[in-house]
Structure 1
Amino acid sequence: MSIGELLTMYKDGELELHPEFQRLFRWTIEQKSRLIESLLLGIPIPSIFVSQTDKGTWEVIDGLQRLSTIFELTGDLRHPDGTERTPLSLNGTKYLPALNQLQWVSEDLTKQLPSEAKLRIKRARVDVNIVLSKSDVTAKYELFQRLNTGGTEASEQEVRNAILVMTNRGFFSWITDLANYSNFRACLPITEKALDEQYDLELVTRFITLSILPEDQLKNINDLGTFLTDKILEMAMEQSPAIKEKVDYSFRRCFDALATILGENSFKKYDVARQQSSGQVLISLFEVIAMGIGYYAKEETYEISEELITRVHQEIPRNPKFMTTAGSGIRASTRIPNTIGLGRELFSP
């Protein structure tokens, strides 16, 4: 199909670009400009993969960053709420330095792409593959994992997000709401890079899935990424309001307490000699503390103790069981049954 045809489909609502599917704007301005350069030079771009919905529209499984870049250039790309995005202004490239600061439309005609260049872009053709029906979620997930043919490779959580959107958009929105919960954020001073890669959503996913599982199931983890995906998709498809309500309640109770008691030090290692926490957020401490509290906090009768939380936080780095299972080089599948089991033991009422 031509880029012009795909653009018309997008404007008519027949081509769906879900920003949850991939990191819509992880590409730098240089990467975006190189894509436009390729179109102008006649260099083929990788195929687009779509799946057809029950309504007959297409959802982009792979190629979203390429298409969104083109639609951003033409000024047609929209935010998820339907509002306009600022049109793309290009950088000069190796072979086409004259692209610098050019836009699709500009009041300053010296900064507007020539008509010939616009036609070349709209007439450029790209292979479009319709690969799956809407209902085949498992196959979609496997395909999405394989396909990141352009741009930066997607993280496991971003792939997970894509499948959740296709499976149960409301469930994905709930996960996003939890990740944006102010007291959760207050406990996690993670880097911009980690946020960009949606590590906060992965931590919420871990809490949702691992804080409610019986310990015998935690011992069956082989590959953590696959395990988390299977469990969160299972929950999304089951759509149990009772379980969702309990997890939501325990999550908010847990992080309300941690934000008040430990704040941004919640998952940082406590240094006894210096009598303070320092360093980066440790996933092993998250597993012990957050999911230890979360396992019990779903019950209204469970009393969250400030004294116990403070003591566990200060003593856990020297706990023999923690020290032998949470060190570097230990696989997550080996660590998790021990750290989560330890958390449940330490926070037991």
Structure 2
Amino acid sequence: MGLQEEIDKMRQEIRADNYSMSIGEWISLYENAEIDIHPEFQRFFRWSNSQKTRLIESILLGIPIPPIFVSQREDGVWDVVDGLQRLSTIYEFVGKLKNENQETLDSLTLEKTKYLPNLEGKKWEDTDDPGNSLTQAQRLLIKRAKIDATILLKESDEIAKYELFQRLNTGGSIATPQEVRNCILVMFNREMFHWMKKLSQNEMFRECIALSDRPVEEQYDMELLLRFLVFRTLEEREMRKIGNDLSGFLTEKMVEMAKNKEFNYEEEEDSFSKTFEILYEQMGSDSFRRYSPSKDKFLGGFLVSAYEVIALGIGYNYQNLSQSHIDIREKIKTIWTSSEYTSWSGSGTTAQRRVPRLVPFGRQMFQ
């Protein structure tokens, strides 16, 4: 197939339309549950109060707002693909935004800006201090302002929705690949997202990975859980398909899991829980730290190469290990002196070369 044929084929997979809509119409969509901004995404928002205020200032000053990208579901509801921060800011300002528990959040209070210093302290409607509210004319000015909508129609290939979300949000306010993945997962399979979120809160897992606050805030614990689910039983020939983009490979495998109606939640949860029960009992926070033979100590912080060998090796063999009396600590010490591990775990080794070698190595070590 030539380039033009590839272009023509993919263009046929995407059906889009464009509307010009008032902010009042965007508000009505939210009030009538005809648009889903996914309250789960709110934890990934990075906008400060100043950024939110600048959006309201732009609307008042008539500065054009970039279009909102949405995807139309089978039931006709729009999933927001790009524009989460803009819409949530508007809904928060007018006092309509709800959290995951469907509780209405406090209305946004504005700050002063360079061009509109008198915005400081203003609210959409302050019942305690009417003088602190926007006037009726100012509220109408906002409600009549236009924000265009680009709609990915339901006839489009569903994979186009996640591709669009990933391309529009990577490098934006949503900062890390796993945060983008979490949002994609919510759109594809909300049940799986909440199941994974619950698993990531497992106390034995959290003790074993021993991450600092920053990686947890950036959802690295969720990424480690995803790596476990993807690689635990993955065939070696599939691992060799990682290429130069481990992040993209994880995303694709996650989408496959999310779409798999026969995904065995019970088995995967059992393997995960038993793996980290074994590690917690024998290793605790030393599980994925570097072992120093000269000091006979585990030192430093979490190492992903150790995770790929130890967590995935135990996860592959957990049923036999949970019934045996193998000294896991001593077994892990031998890994750190193994030439096979040291050859493929160095800082200059790419994931493309590392994973297909270390994961099978771990399976063998814990047989």
Sort the Cα spacing of 1:149 and 1:334 in 2 relative to 1 into closer, same or farther, 3 A. Answer: closer
Partners of 1:23 and 1:158 within 8 A in 2: no
SS in 1 for 2:70: strand
Instruction: For residue 71 of structure 1, report the CA deviation from its aligned partner.
Output: 0.7
Structure 1: distance between partners of 2:275 and 2:156: 36
Structure 1 range deviating more: 333-342 or 311-320? 311-320
The residue aligned with 2:6 is none
User: 2:71, 2:251 → 1: CA distance?
Assistant: 20
Structure 1 pair 150–216 and aligned structure 2 pair: CA distance change class (3 A): closer
Residue 315 (structure 1) shift: 4.0
Show the counterpart of 2:144: 123
Identity of aligned residues (%): 45
Q: 1:302 maps to what in 2?
A: 321
Between stretches 190-199 and 272-281, larger displacement belongs to: 272-281
Q: CA deviation at 1:183?
A: 1.9
Q: CA deviation at 1:116?
A: 3.6
Mark the runs of 5 or more structure 2 residues left unpaired by the alignment. 1-20
Alignment partners' CA distance in 2, 1:266 and 1:315: 13
Q: Which residue of structure 2 lines up, in the alignment, with residue 49 of structure 1?
A: 69
Q: Does 1:77 align with 2:97?
A: yes
What is the SS of the residue equivalent to 1:85?
coil
Structure-1 residue corresponding to 2:3:
none
Q: 1:112 aligns with which of 106, 130, 133?
A: 133
Shift of 1:296: 1.2
TM-superposition CA deviations, 1:57-115 (whole Å, max 9, x none): 11111101110111111111001221122222222223223323332233134543344
Taking a change above 3 Å as real, the CA distance of residues 293 and 37 of structure 1, as seen in their structure-2 partners, is same
Give the CA deviation at 1:303. 2.9
Matched, 1:215 2:236: yes
1:206 aligned counterpart, secondary structure? helix
Code of the aligned partner of 1:50: V
User: Once the 2 structures are TM-superposed, how far is the Cα of residue 275 of structure 1 from its aligned partner?
Assistant: 4.2
3-state SS of paired residue (1:255): helix
Q: Write the letter of the residue equivalent to 2:47.
A: W
Partner Cα separation in structure 2 for residue 134 and residue 306 of structure 1 = 56
Shifted more, 26-35 versus 150-159: the winner is 150-159
Instruction: Indicate whether 1:282 and 2:303 are aligned.
Output: yes
Cα distance 1:152–1:262, how it changes in 2: closer, same or farther (>3 A)?
Answer: same
1:19 matched to 2:55? The reply is no
Q: What is the aligned residue count?
A: 345
Question: For 1:204, which of 217, 225, 232 is the aligned residue?
Answer: 225
Name structure 1 gaps, 5 residues minimum. Answer: none
The equivalent of 1:234 in structure 2 is 256
Does the CA contact (< 8 Å) of 1:51 and 1:134 recur in 2? no
Distance 1:150 1:75 in 2: 29
Give the 3 Å change call, closer, same or farther, for CA 188–265 of structure 1 in structure 2. Answer: same
| Structure 1 residues 302-335: Cα deviation after superposition (integer angstroms, max 9, x where no partner) | 3366753212443433332222211213211111
| Cα distance in 2 for residues equivalent to 1:62 and 1:25 | 12
Find 1:316's aligned residue among 335, 340, 343.
Answer: 335
- 1:183 aligns to what? 204
For residues 104-137 of structure 1, the C-alpha deviation after alignment (integer angstroms, 9 at most, x for no partner) is: 2331345433444322222221110111317732
Tell me by how many angstroms 1:151 deviates: 4.7
Q: Where does residue 176 of structure 2 map in the other structure?
A: 155
TM-score, normalization by structure 1: 0.90
Q: Distance in 2 between matches of 1:202 and 1:22?
A: 18
> Which deviates more, 139-148 or 22-31?
22-31
Q: Distance in 1 between matches of 2:338 and 2:73?
A: 52
CA contact (8 A) 2:36 2:80 kept: yes
User: In structure 1, what is the Cα distance between the partners aligned to 2:344 and 2:142?
Assistant: 55
More divergent stretch after superposition (96-105 vs 107-116): 107-116
Aligned partners of 1:316 and 1:103: how far apart in 2? 60
1:341 corresponds to 2:360: yes
Mapped contact 1:66–1:150 kept (Cα < 8 A)? no
Given the superposition, is the C-alpha separation of residues 274 and 103 from structure 1 closer, same or farther in structure 2, using an over 3 Å criterion? Answer: farther
Between the aligned partners of 2:338 and 2:171, the Cα distance in structure 1 is: 45
Question: 1:317 and 1:9, CA in 2 relative to 1: closer, same or farther beyond 3 A?
Answer: same
Which structure 1 residue ranges, 4+ long, deviate > 6 Å from structure 2? none
Note the alpha carbon deviations across 1:168-215, whole angstroms, 9 max, x for none: 222222222211222222223323332232222111111001011122
Shift of 1:24: 4.5
**Contact 1:72–1:86 (CA<8 Å) still a contact in 2?**
yes
Q: CA deviation at 1:13?
A: 0.6
1:219–1:337 CA contact under 8 A, matched in 2: yes
- Mapped partners of 2:262, 2:202: distance in 1: 22
Match among 271, 274, 278 for residue 257 of structure 1: 278
Question: 2:71 aligns to what SS in structure 1?
Answer: strand
CA distance in 2 between partners of 1:321 and 1:149 (Å) = 35
Q: CA RMSD in A?
A: 2.4
Following superposition, the deviation at residue 4 of structure 1 comes to: 1.2
For the 8 Å contact 2:185–2:255, the answer to whether it is kept is: yes
